A and B are shown apart, each in its own frame.
Chain A
């Protein structure tokens, strides 16, 4: 039984009603004298999970923010106010990492449009759509380490891609060694590896689209671009919004493996992202408090970018 099909929105309201019924149930039993062990059952069942999440996820978040205002090394543990942040924003490597975030935001529409277009074609049943669906999705299950390793071979200076370019008469490109190109190369590989995820999300969004609207548009003689603009985009606005936000979060938080394997931040620090910077300061430079400051900034960047996107998309959604 597919999990996706079992989660219609209507299930949620049904669940809320049930929860009201359940509210009275435990109290009734407690009056009838069952043991407190039984009465506390829901709490007992939740407790281990809550403990793990609080201790290893939410508490570290507070700890980290607090930690970012202390010093490293000689000043270990001492309160240093905003010193770490001042140093952070004076570091060209970190500023470069933030500049790369701006590039990611600019490239984001491409990373969303590709799976969006492909999902549209698959939904409209181009020949072989079932095959495409499973082929496109498969890189999404590969580890960034595997993907990065494979592309290290493919993008080598004397590798297959440059060989292909040679065949069409173009000069070789130093994909990972040229500081103007490397960041785009890594983002390109990231998109290659993750567009299947977004594609599947788009397809599940299409499942909620009313086919009658498409038929109506077609019988009115709408062209494919018109159908996309006037039927599909408005109909899928929630899905598009979701894909925008998750793709952005993915770019900010799951490119570590690729950066680690493919460029190690190089050449000349041109492929740093905040998350990689945090790792270097923590793992290589042994400056945990400074790293905590960098990760706090990363969190704020994500929050700002995420909220800005939701706000922006909501506004454009209203215009339609």
Chain B
């Protein structure tokens, strides 16, 4: 018994240290953002003496950060809305109907899951350029939808398959068409799954840099993550302002994490256990 207690602490100490190592980098960045340039250079470890917001204001107003932020919000909102619409429609159809080729379609979605973006990015950007979609909001939104739709369909189909077909049949007897069943039954009943998948997709799109870098070459259309990488060059001598920019980009994600932690973890594992 006593031996067991000691070994528990032997485990608990490294785990606590690891937790510290997980949190500290963000604390360090937040602390740096609250310092003056001089204070940071003199001592980067000491706690900032007060909550100073002027670095945050500088990072927000200069270098187009506000603009990038808005771009990111537009693109993420558009992509997530479209992903949830197309994903739930296809997920419902693939889980509750069997028609010629429906199995092949589900398999195709699964196969698309394993085609990484790097492998298709060259021809994709060419196709987008040929159709005039490069450097437009719809172009980047479409690229994100194409990237995350297979995963979304897969999760929605898995979720809808847990809704008994008796409910669908009953709604039909009440006079609904298939489209009516989708709109009046499947969309409302799918809310928990839509929320989980939506939050996860929003994180994926918000955090992406590679697709945004390729699809939005001009400065005015830059997303926030691409913007942060350009901040680095601009404020290489002014770390507190740079740290503020990083913080601005991280805060929406951290907020979503605080509110939807369980849902994100659940969506991740739902995609994993049968991937």
**Residues of chain A at the chain B interface (Cβ within 8 Å):** 1-7, 9, 11-12, 14-15, 18-23, 25-26, 38, 41-46, 48-50, 52-53, 55-61, 63-64, 67, 118, 121, 126-128, 131-132, 134-139, 141-146, 149-154, 159-160, 163, 192, 197, 200-201, 203-205, 224, 239, 242, 246, 249, 252-253, 256-257, 260-261, 274-275, 278-279, 282-283, 288, 291-292, 295-296, 298-299, 302
Bound-complex Cα distance A42 to B177 (A): 11
Instruction: Give chain A nearest CB distance to B153 CB in angstroms.
Output: 6
Q: Note all chain A residues with C-beta closer than 8 A to B112.
A: 53, 57-58
Is there contact, CB below 8 Å, between B246 and A52? no
In the complex, given contacts A43-B93, A59-B123, what are 7 additional A-B residue pairs having Cβ atoms less than 8 angstroms apart? A41-B97, A42-B96, A142-B207, A205-B273, A242-B275, A282-B125, A299-B116
Bound-complex Cα distance A246 to B151 (A): 14
Q: Using a CB-CB cutoff of 8 Å, which residues 143-166 of chain B contact chain A?
A: 143, 145-147, 149-150, 153, 155, 158-159, 161-162, 164-165
Bound-complex Cα distance A139 to B97 (A): 40
Q: Note all chain A residues with C-beta closer than 8 A to B23.
A: 135, 138
Partner of B29, one of A48, A153, A203, A252: A153
Bound-complex Cα distance A121 to B8 (A): 9
Q: Note all chain B residues with C-beta closer than 8 A to A4.
A: 265-267, 269-270, 273
Is there contact, CB below 8 Å, between A204 and B232? no
Bound-complex Cα distance A152 to B7 (A): 36
Q: Note all chain B residues with C-beta closer than 8 A to A261.
A: 229, 232
Is there contact, CB below 8 Å, between A299 and B119? yes
Q: Sort A-B residue pairs by CB-CB distance and give the 6 closest, nearest first.
A: A41-B178, A143-B207, A56-B146, A49-B90, A15-B161, A204-B269
Q: Note all chain B residues with C-beta closer than 8 A to A137.
A: 261, 264-265
Bound-complex Cα distance A25 to B265 (A): 37
Q: Note all chain A residues with C-beta closer than 8 A to B63.
A: none
Q: Note all chain B residues with C-beta closer than 8 A to A20.
A: 98
Question: Looking at chain B, what size class is its interface with the partner chain?
Answer: 35 or more
Q: Note all chain B residues with C-beta closer than 8 A to A44.
A: 179
Tell whether A3 pairs with B121 under 8 Å between CB atoms, given A57-B146, A145-B249: no
Bound-complex Cα distance A215 to B178 (A): 50
Q: Note all chain A residues with C-beta closer than 8 A to B87.
A: 49
A-B contact pairs, 6 of them (CB 8 A): A2-B262, A3-B193, A48-B90, A49-B149, A57-B147, A63-B127
Bound-complex Cα distance A197 to B121 (A): 25
Q: Note all chain A residues with C-beta closer than 8 A to B66.
A: none
Partner of B119, one of A121, A150, A159, A295: A295
Instruction: Give chain A nearest CB distance to B242 CB in angstroms.
Output: 7
Q: Note all chain B residues with C-beta closer than 8 A to A11.
A: 158, 161-162
The chain B residue with its CB closest to the CB of A48 is B86
Instruction: Give chain A nearest CB distance to B156 CB in angstroms.
Output: 10
B218: interface (CB < 8 Å) = no
Q: Note all chain B residues with C-beta closer than 8 A to A149.
A: 228-229, 232, 242, 246
Is there contact, CB below 8 Å, between B108 and A53? yes
With a 10 A CB-CB cut-off, give which of A5, A25, A252 has the most chain B CB atoms: A25
Is there contact, CB below 8 Å, between A56 and B179? no
Bound-complex Cα distance A203 to B169 (A): 37
Instruction: Give chain A nearest CB distance to B236 CB in angstroms.
Output: 10
Tell whether A46 pairs with B90 under 8 Å between CB atoms, given A41-B178, A135-B23: yes
Is there contact, CB below 8 Å, between A201 and B165? no
Is there contact, CB below 8 Å, between B266 and A42? no
Bound-complex Cα distance A135 to B108 (A): 36
The chain A residue with its CB closest to the CB of B157 is A15
Instruction: Give chain A nearest CB distance to B178 CB in angstroms.
Output: 3
Tell whether A61 pairs with B209 under 8 Å between CB atoms, given A3-B267, A46-B89, A145-B229: no
The chain A residue with its CB closest to the CB of B21 is A192
Bound-complex Cα distance A201 to B268 (A): 7
B117: interface (CB < 8 Å) = yes
Bound-complex Cα distance A90 to B228 (A): 35
Is there contact, CB below 8 Å, between A126 and B12? yes
Q: Note all chain A residues with C-beta closer than 8 A to B179.
A: 41, 44-45
Is there contact, CB below 8 Å, between B159 and A160? no
Is there contact, CB below 8 Å, between B15 and A118? yes
Tell whether A64 pairs with B28 under 8 Å between CB atoms, given A143-B207, A150-B246, A249-B116: no
Bound-complex Cα distance A123 to B249 (A): 33
Tell whether A141 pairs with B121 under 8 Å between CB atoms, given A7-B158, A150-B26, A257-B210: no
Is there contact, CB below 8 Å, between B149 and A159? no
B60: interface (CB < 8 Å) = no
Is there contact, CB below 8 Å, between B98 and A295? no
Bound-complex Cα distance A4 to B97 (A): 23
Instruction: Give chain B nearest CB distance to A112 CB in angstroms.
Output: 13
Q: Note all chain A residues with C-beta closer than 8 A to B94.
A: 46
Is there contact, CB below 8 Å, between B116 and A252? yes
